[in-house]
Structure 1
Amino acid sequence: MKTVYCIGELLIDFVAEKQGSNLSKAIDFTKKAGGAPANVACAIAKLGGNSSFIGTVGKDPFGTFLLDVLKDNGVNISFAQRTETFTTLAFVSLAEDGERDFVFSQGADQELDYDSKIGSLYKNNLVHFGAATAMLGGSLEETYRRYFDDAIAQNAFISFDPNFRIDLWKGNETTFIEKCIPFIEKSNLCKFSSEEAQLISGKSNLEDCCDYFHEMGVQVITITLGGEGTLLSTVSSKQTIGSIDVRPVDTTGAGDAFIGCLLRQVSTLENPHDIVKNLDQMIDFVKIANKAGAITTTGFGAIPSLPNYKEIFD
């Protein structure tokens, strides 16, 4: 089984549960581990895969808590860095249907330093880039780009998720799109929400979005559609693959669970690049990944709600 290296932010989600989607009305918050790439790393590890997290937290109790959570869930944290800057925080409020309102307080995640020794490890493995905060400047953005170049040079299987957050980019959406395009062009697999696909492509029809991204160079596209499942697209085929019925209480991390489960399955292949050649296998992988995403919405907090191996594969 290959290793999946997950690069990006690790942060604290302070979740205002059952208090509506308006953060200004929230009073009580519960501390949860979060950050899209970290969620993906945990999703892979909880399903019996090999994952390593590359990112930065502060030398504070919150940073210690976050690294402990990753380690307890089976993620390799030997490449994680710590800094004097305080750990990044996100405040999340939930509506009754599980939808979210976010506010970020940027911190340590922006200070990831490049380590030239890590890039050589990507050869014959998978690298996942989650971009929620990685395009916002600081040493993280430069390091992120250099690790992407390393992944290309090592012929790693590259996965990219833009993880668009409106409160981080409101009024600067064009800049976000411009920064995402080089990653989309060179990735083997891209995972989008429908809103992200439409925003970045400028198209309203999701199949047109897929055609736009394929023309840029990406081979496999997944667009998650919530309860409706996932649109899977290759250059020669497009189809929507249904999910299982659940009653969602918190959609935080559902997309991360999906892509984590998908990458966990791809990591079992002798050559992950061959996945594009086997449509039937890809469809089966997406069906299983849909299940992982759906199960995650039935609990509060992304990482605690991620399914384990028996829930998905037994």
Structure 2
Amino acid sequence: MEKKVDIAALGELLINFTEAGYRQDGRKLFEQNPGGAPANLLTDAVIEDPAYFTTLAFVENDEIGERKFSFARKPGADTQLRKEELDQTLISDCKIFHFGSLSLTDEPAEGATIKAVKMAKEAGALISYDPNYRPSLWKSKEIAVEKMRSVIELADVMKVSDEESILLTGAESYEDAADRLLAMGPKLLAVTLGEKGVLMATQNRKEIIKAFKTKAVDTTGAGDSFWGGVLCGILSLNKPIEKLEWEEITKCAVLGNAVTGLCVQKRDGIPAIPSKEEVLALMQKSGC
């Protein structure tokens, strides 16, 4: 039976407070916007819990748009998802199931996340994983690495930053890290490299796909929007991930880079994500 849902994502929905200048008396001003890595990728079927507040993320941007995070999450509602709250029909009826690592920091969300991933995998979904390291949300670096590594074997496709790839493997370079991560189970890996683009890797080939030239204002949601573009490309091909030709993988990465190139030109996560029409216009203008 043909699955009805293209992509289902599980994980945190946050409120980002992003620096937005200063008052006349010198106090910082903040913009309030929705965010969270899985929510940046796509948002629907949100579960609300009146007993807990939405996690708050305070985002500090430097002069080139790179960020530092601090959080109010003791606990946040995103850590309280329970196994019995999972939408089994939605999870079993999706073509791609995407999850991140922040839902692994605390119970009951950790157990619910692992159950959902296994449920989707058993139903034949392509499993997508984005380990997203935020040091202040883990008890220790060692625990973070252990938990983030523990689910890699469940993933078919995986997106990771260059810093996170080295953190998870102990490798000296992201190229070596890519080989080690692929050996853990994924069939396709993307290592994001900021303004340089992305390293796409399979067991047989690795190649850097260059980013679109753009002036970054805020990189919040950049990796998430990139991966959303890649997954959209994979869906359009409608074939098993191991059957993809390298040219097809490259096209998926170019689509993802186009989404990112537009996303970083605006502030914050979800509000900055471009429309399909904007992405296609950028690609046409760039001759892609």
What is the TM-score with the length of structure 1 in the denominator? 0.81
Secondary structure at the counterpart of residue 49 of structure 2? strand
Please tell me whether the aligned partners of residues 250 and 299 of structure 1 are also in contact (alpha carbons under 8 angstroms): yes
Partner residue of 2:16 out of 13, 18, 40: 13
State the alpha-carbon separation in 1 of the partners of residues 36 and 256 from structure 2: 19
Partner residue of 2:194 out of 205, 211, 226: 226
State the match for 1:81 in structure 2: 48
Deviation at 1:185, TM superposition (A): 1.3
**Structure 2 CA distance for partners of 1:204 and 1:276, relative to 1, 3 Å:** farther
Secondary structure at the counterpart of residue 81 of structure 1? coil
Please tell me whether the aligned partners of residues 262 and 286 of structure 1 are also in contact (alpha carbons under 8 angstroms): yes
State the match for 1:31 in structure 2: 32
Please tell me whether the aligned partners of residues 219 and 276 of structure 1 are also in contact (alpha carbons under 8 angstroms): no
The percentage of counterpart residues that share the same residue type is 31
Deviation at 1:236, TM superposition (A): 0.2
**Structure 2 CA distance for partners of 1:313 and 1:102, relative to 1, 3 Å:** same
Deviation at 1:275, TM superposition (A): 5.5
Corresponding pairs, count: 272
**Structure 2 CA distance for partners of 1:26 and 1:254, relative to 1, 3 Å:** farther
Is 1:141 the counterpart of 2:110 in the alignment? yes
Q: How big is each residue's C-alpha offset from its partner over 1:56-102, in whole Å with a ceiling of 9 and x where there is no partner?
A: xxxxxxxxxxxxxxxxxxxx32x523332111111111111111111
State the alpha-carbon separation in 2 of the partners of residues 302 and 141 from structure 1: 24
Q: How big is each residue's C-alpha offset from its partner over 1:235-257, in whole Å with a ceiling of 9 and x where there is no partner?
A: 00000000111111101000010
State the alpha-carbon separation in 1 of the partners of residues 142 and 121 from structure 2: 25
Is 1:165 the counterpart of 2:134 in the alignment? yes
Secondary structure at the counterpart of residue 54 of structure 2? coil
Greater relative CO, 1 or 2 (CA 8 Å, sep 6+): 1
Is 1:152 the counterpart of 2:121 in the alignment? yes
State the match for 2:99 in structure 1: 129
Secondary structure at the counterpart of residue 160 of structure 2? strand
Counterpart AA for 2:109:
L
Please tell me whether the aligned partners of residues 17 and 93 of structure 1 are also in contact (alpha carbons under 8 angstroms): no
Q: How big is each residue's C-alpha offset from its partner over 1:93-152, in whole Å with a ceiling of 9 and x where there is no partner?
A: 111111111111111111112245526643461000022x21211211110111011122
Secondary structure at the counterpart of residue 70 of structure 2? strand
Secondary structure at the counterpart of residue 236 of structure 2? coil
Counterpart AA for 1:108:
A
Aligned counterparts, 1:212-251, within 5 A: 212-251=180-219
Counterpart AA for 2:29:
D
State the alpha-carbon separation in 2 of the partners of residues 262 and 183 from structure 1: 21
What is the TM-score with the length of structure 2 in the denominator? 0.88
Secondary structure at the counterpart of residue 283 of structure 1? helix
Is 1:96 the counterpart of 2:99 in the alignment? no
Deviation at 1:309, TM superposition (A): 0.8
Is 1:304 the counterpart of 2:281 in the alignment? no
* Unaligned segments of structure 2, at least 5 residues: 282-288
State the alpha-carbon separation in 2 of the partners of residues 100 and 124 from structure 1: 33
State the match for 2:170 in structure 1: 202
Please tell me whether the aligned partners of residues 6 and 128 of structure 1 are also in contact (alpha carbons under 8 angstroms): yes
Counterpart AA for 2:208:
T
- Quote the RMSD (CA, aligned, Å): 1.9
State the alpha-carbon separation in 2 of the partners of residues 257 and 189 from structure 1: 15
Deviation at 1:277, TM superposition (A): 2.9
State the alpha-carbon separation in 2 of the partners of residues 26 and 189 from structure 1: 43
Partner residue of 1:295 out of 251, 262, 279: 262
Please tell me whether the aligned partners of residues 119 and 147 of structure 1 are also in contact (alpha carbons under 8 angstroms): no
Counterpart AA for 1:35:
G
Counterpart AA for 1:37:
P
Please tell me whether the aligned partners of residues 5 and 93 of structure 2 are also in contact (alpha carbons under 8 angstroms): no
State the alpha-carbon separation in 2 of the partners of residues 124 and 270 from structure 1: 13
